Chains A and B, each alone.
Chain A
Amino acid sequence: MKPFQRFLDEQRDGVWRYLVAAVGRQDADDLFQETFMAAMRAYPREPIANERAWALTIAHRKALDHHRARARRPVPVQDVPEVGVVDGHRVLEEPTWAQVRALPPKQRAAVLLRFAGDLAHAEVAAALGISEEAARRNVHEGLRKLRAEEAALR
């Protein structure tokens, strides 16, 4: 297996992007640390076939733990809009990702891995331990729900 430093350099941006979408900017940093700590513990001597999917699967599990822990804590009624930076301008984070985080767990996981993680349906399926068909269905259902919410807001 390649040196862990190179794995970190290659997977850093993708994992960061995924976690910001999955848990928001505020908690992404802690989960980034946890994700790579877990990855280094599990890092094998033999090559990993799909390093990106492997890294995102670990990030997904950390996000899942995070969501479960949050579900047990009281949640503020209204989330403060998060601020991001795009092309040097401070902008409100796409409200869509906050809405994705509010989806039911299976749909949330599938939509995040597909679009924030940029994994193919087969890779999403492998990460979640479900069939490719189920992964497609969860992505589809999640998107349908997001579109319905968007339509209701207009």
Chain B
Amino acid sequence: MTEPLAPPPFDPEAAAAAAERFAAAAEPDVAYALHDTPVGRVVLAATRRGLVRVAYEDFNGGEDEVVDDLARRVSPRVLRAPARLDEVRRELDEFFAGERRAFDVALDWSLVQGFGRKVLQATARIPFGETGSYASVAAGAGSPKAVRAAGTALGRNPMPIVVPCHRVLRSGGALGGYTGGVQRKVTLLTVEGVLPA
């Protein structure tokens, strides 16, 4: 049986363009963008309060899984809106070009609570080009003996690079682990002049 009415005319490009315009004008709870860096492609996400997530795309299940996780843990009103991440993208580019020693973007810490947040905030206080130890960030978080818990918190850093968990090394100077793979830690420490280029 033929349809009583022919389907309406359709222009996929016009529909795609309309969706882009919508995403640019809308004010989602979470805006995200992909960004290429010397340590790989990252998914960047921000709320109205500030940057909430930096995720290595290849280490966190890709764009879809990162965005799913944000929808579950922050808000389902998530949109791809690259212009809303322009500031952090610019700061990352400057950091890797050796033109920036500290990030100025506001941070939204809502993905990490309690002791973990204190550890990461202590980590954020380690200056560019310097390093700390798991013991020193545990102490900075108010629990000098909670070294193992500090390591766990660093491994769950929701904003690597910007919250510089790469500056935390094992006592004695061994590099220690890194969520995105240790080669990334080497590259980041090289950018900061801690390791020789």
Contact = CB atoms under 8 A, between A and B. Distances in A.
B76 A115 contact: no
Given A13-B15, A36-B26, A43-B77, A115 B5 contact: yes
A111 interface: yes
A123 to B, nearest CB: 17
Contact of A116 (B7, B16, B68): B7
Contacts of A106: none
B22 interface: yes
B99 interface: no
Interface in A37-58: 37, 40, 43-45
B113 to A, nearest CB: 20
Contacts of B78: 3-5
B76 A3 contact: yes
A67 B125 CA distance: 59
Contact of B22 (A6, A32, A115): A32
A19 to B, nearest CB: 9
A44 B23 CA distance: 18
A131 interface: no
Interface in A7-37: 8-9, 12-13, 16-18, 20-21, 25, 28-29, 32-33, 36-37
B9 A13 contact: no
A152 interface: no
A85 interface: yes
A21 B3 CA distance: 15
Given A2-B76, A3-B76, A4-B78, A100 B15 contact: no
Contacts of B9: 20, 25, 84-86, 91, 93-94
A33 B18 contact: yes
A12 B16 contact: yes
B5 A16 contact: no
A151 interface: no
Main secondary structure of the interface of B (DSSP, over half): mixed
Main secondary structure of the interface of A (DSSP, over half): helix
Contacts of B32: 5
Nearest to B67: A3
Contact of B67 (A5, A28, A86, A100): A5
A77 interface: no
B25 interface: yes
Contacts of B76: 1-4, 43-45
Interface in B11-30: 11-12, 14-16, 18-19, 21-23, 25-26, 28
Given A21-B8, A43-B76, 13 more contacts: A5-B23, A12-B18, A13-B15, A18-B8, A20-B8, A20-B10, A32-B22, A40-B79, A45-B76, A96-B5, A97-B5, A111-B5, A116-B8
Interface of B: 3-12, 14-16, 18-19, 21-23, 25-26, 28, 32, 67-68, 70-71, 76-80
23 contacts: A3-B71, A3-B78, A4-B28, A4-B71, A4-B77, A4-B78, A5-B23, A5-B67, A6-B67, A13-B10, A16-B10, A32-B18, A33-B18, A36-B19, A40-B77, A43-B76, A43-B77, A45-B76, A85-B9, A115-B3, A115-B4, A116-B8, A143-B5
